[in-house]
Structure 1
Amino acid sequence: MSTEAARVAILPRGVASRVITSAVSRGAWGVAIAVIVLTVPVVVDVAVDRGFDDLLLVPLLCLAGMLALLGISGRRPGTATRLLYVFGGGALATVYTVALLLADPSLNDEAAFVLNRPALVLVLGGVSIVRPLVGLLWSLAGYTMAMATAVVSSFLVGVHFAPGWGPTLALLVYAGAFLALAAIRASQERQIPDLARLEDDTRRMSIENQFEQRAAAIVHDTVLSDLTVVMNSAGPLHPRARERFRADVATLSDAAWLRESADASTVAPLDAVLRNSLETLVSDFQWRGLTVDVTGDSSAAIRISPEAASSLVSAVRACLDNVLDHAGTASAELVVATTADAVTVMVIDHGKGFDPGSVADDRLGLRSSVVTRIRSHGGSVRVWSTPGSGTSVLISVPGAGAPTETAPGHAG
């Protein structure tokens, strides 16, 4: 029983950093709401205990206003709502503090924690911040407004400045979290590779490698084969050779073979397009001195891409080139067949054969012009050869769709 390894999706480094920073800011926003809500019973309890519960309306309305501003900044986060929260919250915090101090000035020394609750949440109010340093700036802005609130309130009531430690501790914790996130991100940029960029580079290198293999196959099938014809020619070039050379030059000049993919279209061994290409190929080798017998039959037409069909013909050409150049025989057989899901061509010769395991790695013929080319379309190549017993090459290209029966009386 085999198990398939699951691929774990990893967020790009920049996206992961923004998600974490946003989560921290939203968490602090939630803490700010909790602080305001919990301040209500504390204020009521202090007011009842000190005997000014009839003066609670203004402080409670200010707390409700702070809660409303937190809701607005959380629902529509942005620069405008954050500015509204800082300045609007500063004004409400000032009214809240002044109202309580006017009711009981002793709160400035004995219950500063009740007075500075709105000032504390000013430091925590920035929500959905995605960059740590930006969050630090908004936290400093809230802290500055909190201190200004304490100064103005003390001046209006005529008590000494006593802001308490709440806003300062909130700033240290919140700003410390943002600084830690910024430091971690900077450290990751120096030490951990960007996985998204690595994936892009890997994909680009894979495409470049495919193009290099395709180019090597094209060069082998055109330039190298043409040079072989020229070197083995005993006299003036045959007109057919000159036509082939011109066609090869046109192939090298056209960049269409660099296309990575194309839509599938109906191509079968016995349809007009592929059949004519194979017949032209056979005729080309006939005048070069190689007799090629074509056999096989099919009653199905399947869908393969134009590139796959072209690569199939080019791979067959490469095999016949090898027969002509290396097999030491003047005849070969081409067996063409289709199945329900593939086009298969077998090139057979009864020449001197070879040992496939002894082929050097730097030889491009069979490897680049046949194996690599066919595998790039999901096909397969099998080679049977023994010295003195000939060679058989089976080339198979898979179809892209279900087969369709040809009409009765189809020529072939």
Structure 2
Amino acid sequence: MPTVALPRDVAAAVVVSGLSTAMRAVAIGGTALTVVMSVDVVLSAGLDPLRAPIVAAPAVAVLLLAALLLMLPSRATATLYLAAGGVAAAASVVAVVALAEQGDDPFILNRVATALPLVGALGGSARSGVRWTLAALAVSYSALAVGWWAVGTPGPFGYGPLIVGVVSLTGFGLLAAVRYRAKQRVPEFLAVQRAVLIDERERELQRRAAAAVHDTVLADLAVIAMTVGTVDERMRDHILRDLDAIVRPTARRVSSSTAVTAAPAPLADALLELADHYRWTGVSVQLSGAEELTAEVPAPVVDALVGATRAALDNVAAHAGTGQAELVVGQRDDAIVLLVVDAGVGFDPDAVGADRLGLRESIDGRIRTVGGSVRIWSGDEGTTVMMRVPLGARDE
């Protein structure tokens, strides 16, 4: 069964998101060990055991923040993680020095601050990961400085946050460099494929048109040439019917914006018509996967997918700030999967107002009506809208 090959932008976003998830999981594991170490430091020094919960409290706070960030990665939770984590890192220095009496061991002093550079990236953007890591490094060492200032005596900062930050920056930097080189060196095969598909379809239309002309107009002209005198009413009606049969498909071909929704065309033809239509809106749409569609898609599903795709492409034309978009369609797990990808400025889907109906009704609402689902990835490197509708889904 044909499958959907993810575009380069989507594949890169998946890798970045996976790396970020792993980093946040490491932050959870590291802070959990810090909690245990804090308790052990107090008990090993023979101090009052009641001091242990206070010393471990900053690490517990960062542990909970890291878990929240792992479950709900967003700008809000990442900002909360760094802001509250910075306060916890400063408090940890004060607690370790004042209560655990460990003022000369940077390994213990900066354990909480070391977790902050593991904040990861947002929106699947490697550049986002670089920016958040740099911000986390600044917060980490600022928090350590504030902690020592609160204690009243200068002490060691250690290299823990710096080492973690450098490793994180290296990972995100390599991903950003690989994506940039891929964009520069990999040919745009999708553009070539789309051109071939359009050329093949045009040739098929020309062949059908030639056959229609041969069977109607040429035959009618031959009859007229052999007719002596005027053409009778019956022959005139026959010629008019033939002319109408020739004109009607041409009109549907020219008026592609209406044919996509009104004509009962297969999904592949409807998407090809839609992609061809957007040439005149300033957006070049690269379509792939349509030639591999073999399943019969119900008419309500075709209407919903084409309508939602048109709304997504309208958003690209109006807001993305780019003149190109990729449209990928295919069959996967007994469902139709359709992706609209652009490399524009991106946006925050959670920040879209309730009064803006483009995403909620024109895209998500249409797809949910036929039993499907919509997922959106958006960041500094573009936006991807993925629509998935199970085969056999019907309008309510």
2:94 matched to 1:120?
A: no
Is the CA contact (8 Å cut-off) linking 1:133 and 1:179 kept in structure 2? yes
How far the C-alpha of 1:40 sits from its partner, in A, is: 2.6
How far the C-alpha of 1:20 sits from its partner, in A, is: 0.8
Aligned mates of 1:237, 1:35 — CA distance in 2: 97
Hey, what does 1:140 align to over in structure 2?
134
Aligned mates of 1:122, 1:92 — CA distance in 2: 10
Residues 195 and 114 of structure 1: is their aligned pair in 2 closer, same or farther, counting only changes over 3 Å? farther
Deviations 1:227-267 (A, max 9, x none): 4445x53743542544443333333332377579749xxxx
Match of 2:226 among 210, 218, 233: 233
Is the CA contact (8 Å cut-off) linking 1:120 and 1:166 kept in structure 2? yes
2:74 matched to 1:71?
A: no
Deviations 1:49-86 (A, max 9, x none): 43435332212111111111112222222111111111
Residues 29 and 238 of structure 1: is their aligned pair in 2 closer, same or farther, counting only changes over 3 Å? same
Aligned mates of 2:237, 2:177 — CA distance in 1: 68
Where structure 1 has 5 or more consecutive residues not aligned to the other structure, the ranges are 1-5, 264-412
Deviations 1:138-190 (A, max 9, x none): 11121111011111012111332532111111111111111111112222223
How far the C-alpha of 1:224 sits from its partner, in A, is: 3.0
Aligned mates of 2:148, 2:16 — CA distance in 1: 36
Residues 104 and 17 of structure 1: is their aligned pair in 2 closer, same or farther, counting only changes over 3 Å? same
Deviations 1:10-64 (A, max 9, x none): 2122221111110000000011111111223333333334343533221211111
Match of 2:42 among 31, 47, 59: 47
Output the TM-score relative to the length of structure 1.
0.55
Higher helix share: 2
Question: 3-state SS of the aligned residue for 2:65?
Answer: helix
Hey, what does 1:287 align to over in structure 2?
none
Question: 3-state SS of the aligned residue for 1:11?
Answer: coil
- Superposed, 1:20-59 pairs within 5 Å as 20-52=15-47, 54=49, 55-59=51-55
Is the CA contact (8 Å cut-off) linking 1:94 and 1:153 kept in structure 2? yes
Aligned mates of 2:123, 2:169 — CA distance in 1: 13
Aligned mates of 1:11, 1:35 — CA distance in 2: 34
How far the C-alpha of 1:8 sits from its partner, in A, is: 4.7
Match of 1:170 among 164, 172, 175: 164
Hey, what does 1:188 align to over in structure 2?
182
> What is the identity, as a one-letter code, of the residue corresponding to 2:30?
V
Is the CA contact (8 Å cut-off) linking 1:62 and 1:95 kept in structure 2? yes
Is the CA contact (8 Å cut-off) linking 1:58 and 1:96 kept in structure 2? no
Deviates most, 131-140 or 16-25:
131-140
Residues 57 and 191 of structure 1: is their aligned pair in 2 closer, same or farther, counting only changes over 3 Å? same
Question: 3-state SS of the aligned residue for 1:159?
Answer: coil
Question: 3-state SS of the aligned residue for 2:115?
Answer: helix
Hey, what does 2:7 align to over in structure 1?
12
Aligned mates of 1:10, 1:125 — CA distance in 2: 30
Aligned mates of 2:85, 2:248 — CA distance in 1: 69
Matched residue count: 256
- Max radius of gyration: which structure? 1
2:106 matched to 1:99?
A: no
Aligned mates of 2:161, 2:48 — CA distance in 1: 26
Aligned mates of 1:68, 1:257 — CA distance in 2: 60
Aligned mates of 2:108, 2:70 — CA distance in 1: 24
Aligned mates of 2:135, 2:219 — CA distance in 1: 76
Aligned mates of 2:195, 2:13 — CA distance in 1: 24
> What is the identity, as a one-letter code, of the residue corresponding to 1:174?
S
Is the CA contact (8 Å cut-off) linking 1:13 and 1:195 kept in structure 2? no
Aligned mates of 2:97, 2:11 — CA distance in 1: 46
Match of 1:248 among 242, 246, 263: 242
Hey, what does 1:387 align to over in structure 2?
none
How far the C-alpha of 1:196 sits from its partner, in A, is: 6.3
Is the CA contact (8 Å cut-off) linking 2:148 and 2:155 kept in structure 1? yes
Question: 3-state SS of the aligned residue for 1:178?
Answer: helix
Identical positions, percent: 29
How far the C-alpha of 1:99 sits from its partner, in A, is: 0.9
Deviations 1:93-147 (A, max 9, x none): 1111111112366x444x2011111111111034664111112111112111101
Residues 122 and 10 of structure 1: is their aligned pair in 2 closer, same or farther, counting only changes over 3 Å? same
Residues 233 and 102 of structure 1: is their aligned pair in 2 closer, same or farther, counting only changes over 3 Å? same
> What is the identity, as a one-letter code, of the residue corresponding to 2:172?
F
Output the TM-score relative to the length of structure 2.
0.57
Aligned mates of 2:193, 2:116 — CA distance in 1: 43
Aligned mates of 2:208, 2:48 — CA distance in 1: 87
> What is the identity, as a one-letter code, of the residue corresponding to 1:236?
G
Hey, what does 2:300 align to over in structure 1?
none
CA RMSD of aligned residues (A): 3.0
